[in-house]
Amino acid sequence: MDAETSPPSFETDIKPLFLRFDRDQMLFIFDLWEIEDVRTHSRSIYARLKSGDMPCDRSWPEEHVALFRSWIKAGCPD
């Protein structure tokens, strides 16, 4: 992310990465479509995304994992 690039936003960039199936599978712990839940658990979500353990039915492409990491590094903005 360079100085001219705005940080990723939750609603526009992060939330759409989580499918309804992903959300439904994780609701017993947290809601992947709620920013406060994802902020609170962002480090553990990132670790599982990076390792390929999450989502449970497939691994994210590296660019999606990198986007999630950029969102965390930017302070988990709205």
Q: Range of 25's domain? A: 10-73
The pTM (predicted TM-score) of the whole model is 0.91
Q: How far apart are CA 64 and CA 31, in angstroms?
A: 19
58 pLDDT tier (thresholds 50, 70, 90)? very high
Question: What are the DSSP calls for 45-65, one per residue?
Answer: HHHHHHHT-SSTTSPPPHHHH
Cα-based distances in Å from 36 to 15, 18, 19, 40, 51 = 12, 15, 18, 6, 23
In a domain? residue 23? yes
Angle at 16 between CA 40 and CA 44, to 5 degrees: 30
**Digit-coded pLDDT (tens) for 5-38:** 899 999 999 999 999 999 999 999 999 999 999 9
pLDDT score at 29 = 96
Structural domains counted in the chain: 1
